[in-house]
Amino acid sequence: MRHKLLWFLPIAFLIVCGVCAGTGYLVWKLVFAVEPPGVGAKAEKGYQTCAPIISALADYKAKNGTYPKKLEDLIPTFLAESAPVSVDGMPVDYTLTTASYQLKFHYTGPGMNTCVYAPENGWHCSGYY
């Protein structure tokens, strides 16, 4: 009779392992709640920092027909000299592209994150831990 119950042991083992793994995952998510890239206070600060730059770039293009070669070309007509151009201690990067431009900022915590804005695509963020 004992050998007839042995088939149940592997199933019981799998159930216990599944419960332990699921519980461990939930505890890890609660303790180490990690926001994805582009979400959270630091990302929001980056978006806020870039908002006046994006607006100034649109105004510059409306007046001149093209985007500027560098952000400094926006000062003082389209952007105040005191406008912040860094996020989390790292500079905001501006790249003129064939179609338009890309505006990029980086921030840390957790990991290193990068958010890129292009007028035709909006914001896209990525990162690694």
Q: Domain tally for the chain?
A: 1
What the block records as the tokens of 62 is 């409306």
Q: If you ran DSSP here, which 8-state letter would residue 58 be given?
A: H
76 domain-assigned: yes
9 domain-assigned: no
Q: What is the pLDDT of residues 18-36, one digit of tens each?
A: 555 556 555 555 555 678 8
What pTM did the predictor assign? 0.72
Q: What is the pLDDT of residues 32-77, one digit of tens each?
A: 567 888 999 999 999 999 999 999 999 999 999 999 999 999 999 9
List the domain range (segments joined by +) for residue 82. 41-128
